[in-house]
Every structure is written in structure tokens, then in C-alpha cells.
A and B are shown apart, each in its own frame.
Chain A
Amino acid sequence: EPEVTQTPSHQVTQMGQEVILRCVPISNHLYFYWYRQILGQKVEFLVSFYNNEISEKSEIFDDQFSVERPDGSNFTLKIRSTKLEDSAMYFCASSELGSPLYEQYFGPGTRLTVT
């Protein structure tokens, strides 16, 4: 069964450094998402992406964040200058279409630890 993959599974970085989290969505899916989940807290929407541009973003997704689809398979989240509070589990998801009727498939997540 096709699945969303994410790398790395765990990333440790120092405050102020840039990190890039990578995702390979399911191949025939057109919508891609990033979510984060701080330990013990709710899953939070960050951004959705369609047709090579951002379609929605949350208040969390400020100028330090960016997303890119550099080729036909990868979808990346870049955090420019990490802060301690960016430590969280980051999940990538994809769906066939953007309608809420289409389920989102989540990857296993990348645990980001900022020290």
C-alpha cells in the first residue's frame, strides 16, 4: 500500500540553525500538508500546498517557515532560524484532492529537537 515517507525520523539542531524536513507524498496525490505536534499538545495545521503554491497557511507559519516541491516527488519544510519552541513532531500529509471529503494520509513524522 502506498505511504507517505519522511526523513529524517529525528533531527537535533542548535538554536538559530536552519533545518530542512523532507517528505515524499503518495505519488498520485495533488495536495500536500505540514502539521506539527508539540509533545502533549494538539496537532496543529501549518500549511497546505497545491499546484506548486501555498493554498492555506496558519498563523504559526510565519516568515521563518517555507515549503517547496523541488522535484516531482519531494516536498520540504524549511525552518530558517530554529527556536527552542520549534521542538515538536512534524508530520507531512497528502491527499488526492483538497476537498475535505478526501482523507489525508500522514507520514510517520520527524521529531525535531532544538537545543
Chain B
Amino acid sequence: SQKIEQNSEALNIQEGKTATLTCNYTNYSPAYLQWYRQDPGRGPVFLLLIRENEKEKRKERLKVTFDTTLKQSLFHITASQPADSATYLCAGYAGNNRKLIWGLGTSLAVNP
């Protein structure tokens, strides 16, 4: 079945460092990948979208890459801050449908 996999192990980094989160997909080829932030007890908040024909997308301190050969997207937060602490979710669309397939998310803790 179509799957989005994210590293389930929490990531702890020091403030100011770059956080890198991984999203791998199997058994399908998403035309788009989206990254969301989710805080405890809240709904996901959209951050970035990247298309399969884009290698990289940036927005302020955020950068997303999409490698269709490795079937992987990387999400980077540069100059990380404690306020960046949250769970980050990767989600993919395939084809023309409007169904998003989600990863479990990776919890990020940025320590002051």
C-alpha cells in the first residue's frame, strides 16, 4: 500500500543548529509533498509544498528538497529556535485525487 514514512525517533538539537527531518515514500509516486507543523492538541499547519519536478523550495528559515530517485524529501530548519519545537508531518498527494497520505511525523525539540 502507499506509504509515507518519517523517522519516529524524536530529534533533539541545540538552538541555532540546523534541524533536518526525513520523509520517505513507498509504493507510489507523489506528485506533490507537503510539510506541516503540528503542536500538541492542535490541527496541522501548512508550511511548504514541493512538486516532483522541483528539487528544492525555500521559505524563510525553511528548506525542503524532493529526490524522486531516493523517494525522499528532506525538511530543514536553519538557525533553529525553541519555538520551532513541534511535530513535523510530511504528506503526499498522488495523481489527481485530493487524498493526502500522511506520515506519522517527527517530533523536534530545540533546546535553549
Contact = CB atoms under 8 A, between A and B. Distances in A.
A43 B44 contact: yes
Nearest to A4: B43
Interface stretch (A11-19, A65-73, A76-84, A105-113): A105-113
A33 B93 CA distance: 14
A2 interface: no
Q: Is the interface of B mostly helix, strand, loop or mixed?
A: loop
Interface in B17-64: 31-32, 34, 41-46, 49
A106 B98 contact: no
Contacts of B104: 41-42
B92 to A, nearest CB: 9
Contacts of A108: 41-43
Contacts of B105: 42
Given A55-B98, A91-B43, A43 B89 contact: yes
Nearest to A40: B104
Nearest to B99: A45
A55 B99 CA distance: 10
A100 B31 contact: yes
B99 A93 contact: no
Contact of A109 (B43, B93, B99, B102): B43
A104 interface: yes
Contacts of A89: 41
Nearest to B92: A100
Contact of B102 (A42, A100, A107): A42
A103 B46 contact: yes
A31 interface: yes
A45 B89 CA distance: 14
Nearest to B103: A42
6 contacts: A42-B104, A43-B44, A45-B102, A55-B98, A56-B97, A105-B46
A-B pairs with lowest CB-CB distance, top 5: A106-B43, A103-B46, A100-B93, A43-B102, A100-B32
Interface of B: 31-32, 34, 41-46, 49, 89, 91, 93, 97-105
